[in-house]
Structure 1
């Protein structure tokens, strides 16, 4: 048991820094805004559409796998490739890009039927020729940044490893022309140079219909392997902000509630003095009841604030110290100037029920001393102020 307790304590201590929050408070007139920034590296603010776009340009070798790989060596099939891509990261872990890649591919053709260079492949008779043709491949990739997905977002991380998969369309420029859908998968490694630029190494495998090189052989697909290196420019605005929670507080309203609570305290002190006086003169049978109580709610809400609960706690003390046979009516109201009639009836009822539940369940007032009533939406009840009609009034019958 002791080992489990120590282990749990160490786990909480390790998790503490990652889940800690920083806080910033801004005062604006009667309002105070408190902004809490989460240090959870797996949570960031959602970016805007034009945030985190990038442009990549790279080049490198590529090799084609076709029908005559045995007749022409691996090195003879290597050709240059150009990659140009534009894309966007929607989250630190998921992005998309549209890419052009192409230039030319090398291979072999029998009897010089497709894209022959006119040069025979030695050792395979007079019917085998080297081939070369220009092509382009336009495709869309979905990228998964494994570093951010598994290790959390880190703006200054030097190396980011990403897996991607995509589909596209490949077509040859020269007769006999051919075109078909391609499927690709690859491993993208990005290395941070500065805020705006990354260097990258992109390793990719693709497959396309066998007829793309102008010949139909025994295989169903031809394949491409490529490795490119290049630079990525990250457009502004780049990166993600920490996740934050903004709490806006009306200080003026709190001060008004505090004044109301002070007045209630004064009234409760008066009641205590009256009770003490009554106890000192037991011959006089005087039934005491708690003073009427007013609880104000926020517009459209039926939940009790901390100040309201404190006020009700003092009311509960007064009720329990008064005549145990006294019955109090808890009447809910809503502001007629906002909301429909049906909505205000429901809201005034929920407000009365919230006060009832607080007095009974939190402060132990007997259910036999309370009953609920509600009036729906009403006109301004006090000082021509609609806020004072979003209320619950508790008074003795």
Structure 2
């Protein structure tokens, strides 16, 4: 008779293990509801993927070369057309990178043949008031390009938080590039670039840009050495930026899953009550009465925790009621376990010990189970106990230890 009763208890324990949920939790999932809570912190957004927030831009404007003979030529006579074409990506709302082609041509003044150490980009025309007999300057014009990689910093988002509807964004940048003059005399120089990208939102996909940039190159850039540390290029262009989909950033969020186990717990409790009623009716020929014993309890914990959820407390409250209704001389052993596949040996010992402790305290302090009927044990980390599922090892099992006569 006792053997039959032991088999029934084992079946109940295994049935509870089979029904354990897939996510780290304490009970079976029958109904799952999800609540999404968005973080209102404007400085926190979801991390984007590699193909998110790419853009292309183009602009047209003017540029001026600051070279060897700036004082001899009026500023407005040195303005030449400028073209910008770029492709880039924003990694965060505040940090991005772009690869840009900028160039076309520059204008200025240069020495006549024979006065400079190197050939120059002369147009053959004298600079008014500075050419002809006794003077030595001629007009200068040549084509070039500057291919540069820039790091962008959107200070509007960095200082004031991300806002996809903001009309104006100010993005300083700096970078290094490679300039080439392909007309004779040719020149290939490293460039240092710094500027401010001013963006005005037109819609979700388009921005109007005002790009103000300065570039520093070697004194050899214009083909004439003038004893300077280097030469500069200043440009201002107006253009458009197109932002590819997916664009923008989602606010950071937290997903809360709620599990409703009340109906299944009630069905399990009804089944246990039926089994106990059947056992109570069984008698041997000698009219031996079978003592009523509470069925085993199985509680699962989230990974690396020993916190009891409300669902687990409901299950323990039902278990406590059965203990108090059953034979008061029966002792139950509360055994804590941890998943051997995760965590160190020492950590798993702590987890299994604390899991057994919180179940013991819940049964005694919250539901009034007599201390004399409970014992505590812990096993540390164990291999998968049920169905090769490591989550089933993050558990506390409470079952009969012995019967006191």
SS at match of 1:213: coil
Distance in 1 separating the partners of 2:384 and 2:136 = 99
Distance in 1 separating the partners of 2:135 and 2:126 = 7
More deviation, 354-363/186-195: 354-363
Residue 374 in structure 1 maps to residue 383 in structure 2? no
SS at match of 1:70: helix
CA contact (8 A) 2:94 2:158 kept: yes
CA contact (8 A) 1:312 1:359 kept: no
Give 2:69's aligned residue.
Answer: 68
Distance in 1 separating the partners of 2:343 and 2:39 = 40
CA contact (8 A) 1:329 1:396 kept: yes
Give 2:111's aligned residue.
Answer: 110
- 1:293 CA drift (Å): 5.8
CA contact (8 A) 1:188 1:202 kept: yes
Give 1:119's aligned residue.
Answer: 125
- 1:94 CA drift (Å): 1.1
Q: 1:247 to 1:254 in 2, by over 3 A?
A: farther
Residue 393 in structure 1 maps to residue 398 in structure 2? yes
Aligned residues: 342
- 1:371 CA drift (Å): 3.1
Distance in 2 separating the partners of 1:83 and 1:194 = 22
Q: Could you list the runs of 5+ residues in structure 2 that have no partner in the other structure? A: 1-28, 114-118, 274-291
CA contact (8 A) 2:210 2:236 kept: yes
Alignment of 1:191-202 (within 5 A): 191-202=200-211
Q: What TM-score do the two structures reach when normalised by structure 2?
A: 0.70
Q: 1:229 to 1:329 in 2, by over 3 A?
A: same
CA contact (8 A) 2:206 2:243 kept: yes
Residue of 321, 330, 333 corresponding to 1:329: 333
- 1:235 CA drift (Å): 1.5
Q: 1:298 to 1:341 in 2, by over 3 A?
A: closer
CA contact (8 A) 2:214 2:233 kept: yes
More deviation, 198-207/298-307: 298-307
Residue of 308, 316, 319 corresponding to 2:312: 308
> Rg bigger for which structure?
2
CA contact (8 A) 1:100 1:137 kept: yes
- 1:131 CA drift (Å): 0.9
Alignment of 1:116-265 (within 5 A): 116-124=122-130, 125-251=134-260, 255-257=263-265
Give 1:276's aligned residue.
Answer: none
RMSD between superposed Cα atoms in Å? 4.3
SS at match of 1:184: strand
- 1:148 CA drift (Å): 1.1
Q: What TM-score do the two structures reach when normalised by structure 1?
A: 0.72
Distance in 1 separating the partners of 2:393 and 2:121 = 87
- 1:122 CA drift (Å): 3.5
Distance in 2 separating the partners of 1:341 and 1:65 = 65
Relative CO higher for 1 or 2, CA cutoff 8 Å, sep ≥ 6? Answer: 2
CA contact (8 A) 1:177 1:214 kept: yes
Distance in 1 separating the partners of 2:188 and 2:343 = 65
